[in-house]
Structure 1
Amino acid sequence: MTTAGSLDPEALARAKTVIVIPARYQSRRFPGKPLAVLRQDGVAAKPLIRWSHDAASAVTNAQAVLVATDDVRIAEAVHAFGGLVLMTPESCANGTERVAACLEQLPGAELLVNFQGDALLTPSPFVEALIAHMERHPEAQAGTVAVRCSAETFRHLAEDAAQGRVGGTTVVVNDRSEALYFSKRILPYLPAGRMPDDDMPVLLHLGLYAYRRAALEHYVDKGATMLETVEGLEQLRFLVAGMPVTVLTLDEPGFPMVEINNPSDIAIVEGILASRDRP
């Protein structure tokens, strides 16, 4: 365990709701992504991991925020701004496995929230709503969040697809608001020229999850599945294993919910950060 920051190890061990930001240096599409620098007028340039940590730290109903990584460069960057770090094995295949790798070091944690390190635009009320939903529904083992795509976000997804880039993830749900399927394709299929609307919404899945301890343990025991490998979407392992994933559907917060999946997304997100803060 490697820690820094203001939360002492005993307090961390007692925390019941913990936000974990999985971060790895190696990425096929964007190596070194957590350390990529984003700039905004009037704000000091910061690495992506700092932007994401700041966003997660604004959540009011979690007792701790930490970064889980296997890379000393990321750990040093987090320590530099006073954040907490837990070192996890290099063998973790994805962010969910990396969160699960923290369980032994977080004996008091009952609910673990996976806050994606490339989703710095995630509003704190979304995280708070997911935590509150899981608290109200103790039977739910895993939960996540999706937003109804605006026309602008849908066009961003469609442009990524047209250019052959892997962009955001969409999800379709059943009548119980449980995920039927997640895909890096745009789901459901829309005829040419058709934009999403209330009758045919497109739900953009956010990289935000909440899990019970038992769900994470079951996830690791299950092992990798064909669908998650083909799609590159770790959450599909839950569906293959027959474990429902509750989807909390929210409206977009007044700006496009763009993640940093490719280097070209940095300029887009910097523009959103700038416009978001204008009156």
Structure 2
Amino acid sequence: MVIPARAGSSRLPRKPLHMIAGRTLLHRTIAMARNAIRGLPDMELVVATDDGEIADHARAAGCEAVMTDSAIATGSGRALAAAIARPASPQLIVNLQGDSPFQPEGALAAVISSLREGARVATPVIALDWAALDSLRDHKMRSPFSGTTCARASDGRALWFSKAIIPAIRDEAALRRTEPLSPIWRHVGLYGYSIEALQLFERTAPTALETLEGLEQLRLLELGIPVTTIPVPPPLFDSSGIDTEEDIARVEALIAMHGDPTPLLP
């Protein structure tokens, strides 16, 4: 498993080192990942960064860190660089975005299982109930590029990802009266890849749509690589990424209300 953690973020510079309720974002992500892979065979954890201070911060948490080229533009590309630097390149790679420390329970195991069953790319999604959809819409009024939704086929194939809320809902009022869940799926910041899919991704230039949305997984869809989406239960904590100071304040309010879900580092 690779945690990409670059220094440059236009909305939250040096994001991995930002504090959330007394602990850095990176240390929280490492602790969550370490707890999630405990007991899973053949799993290693490494932070991939382009910044010496971030690398040292990862090592202070007892996590291996590797330096990767600052010119690498995506977390997926950074995960591949870290993977092929291993003594033996793994055939399956899990990319846990460094700004997503609050994962749904079982999401990591589900992604790994899907890869081992033959998926080329796998990623979790959460079905939003109507209250969660209302909350997402309200949040996007203030932070329109925080949080990603997914349109998916009935067999679980991703059709599209967007920073907009997709699909649009015709006759929503009637649907609210009859269905407990909205038709909106929220994407979780966790990806699993076969190494060949990730290598093809990295060999291909960013696409125009990928650049417009700011979502690297759209390159996979445009390449014709199927992305398997895996429904997982919603976590107590909002699973969207930490992109702004407002996101940090929201998570700190949840911690104050419900307690801290992040395991302690050993």
What is the TM-score normalised by the length of structure 2?
0.88
Alignment correspondent of 1:88: 68
Distance of 2:166 and 2:199 partners within structure 1: 30
**Distance in 1 between residues matched to 2:63 and 2:147, nearest whole Å:** 28
The 5 Å alignment of 1:70-219 reads: 70-106=50-86, 107-135=88-116, 137-138=117-118, 140-163=119-142, 165-190=144-169, 194=173, 197-198=179-180, 200-219=182-201
Query: Structure 2, unaligned stretches of length 5 or more?
Result: 261-266
Aligned CA RMSD, in angstroms, stands at: 2.0
Q: Aligned to 2:224, what secondary structure does the other structure show?
A: coil
Greater mean deviation of Cα atoms: 196-205 or 64-73? 196-205
> 2:264 maps to what in 1?
none
For CA contacts below 8 A with separation 6 or more, give which structure has more relative contact order.
Answer: 2
Counterpart-to-counterpart distance in 2, 1:199 and 1:31: 36
Q: Secondary structure at the match of 2:232?
A: strand
1:47 is matched with 24
Is the CA contact 1:174–1:180 (under 8 Å) kept in the aligned structure 2?
A: yes
Equivalent-residue separation in structure 2 for 1:112 and 1:213 (angstroms) = 7
Provide the secondary structure at the position in 2 that maps to 1:201.
strand
Distance in 1 (CA, whole Å) between partners of 2:255 and 2:104 is: 12
Aligned pair in 2 of structure 1 residues 80, 192: CA closer, same or farther (>3 Å)?
Answer: farther
Paired residue for 1:56, among 33, 50, 53? 33
Of 14, 27, 52, 1:32 maps to: 14
**Structure 1: unaligned runs, 5 residues or longer:** 1-18, 40-44
Shift of residue 236, structure 1, vs aligned partner: 0.3
Identity level (%): 33
Distance in 2, Cα, partners of 1:214 & 1:193 = 41
Q: 1:263 to 1:188 in 2, by over 3 A?
A: same
Deviation at 1:27, TM superposition (A): 0.6
Deviations 1:146-171 (A, max 9, x none): 01123443233212332353110000
Q: Distance in 1 between matches of 2:192 and 2:65?
A: 19
Kept in 1: contact 2:94–2:193 (CA 8 A)? yes
CA distance in structure 2 between the partners assigned to 1:72 and 1:199 by the alignment: 45
Q: How does 1:15-30 map to 2 (within 5 A)?
A: 19-30=1-12
* Corresponding position: 1:251 with 2:233: yes
| In structure 1, C-alpha distance between the alignment counterparts of 2:28 and 2:229, rounded to whole Å | 25
Structure 1 residues 33 and 156: CA distance shift in structure 2, 3 A: farther
Q: SS state of the match for residue 245, structure 2?
A: coil
**Corresponding residue pairs, total:** 253
Contact 1:153 1:257 in 2 (8 A): no
Judging changes above 3 Å, is the alpha-carbon distance between structure 1 residues 163 and 74 closer, same or farther for their aligned structure 2 residues?
same
- Asked whether the equivalents of residues 6 and 16 of structure 2 are also in contact (C-alpha less than 8 Å), the reply is yes
Bigger drift between 192-201 and 91-100 goes to 192-201
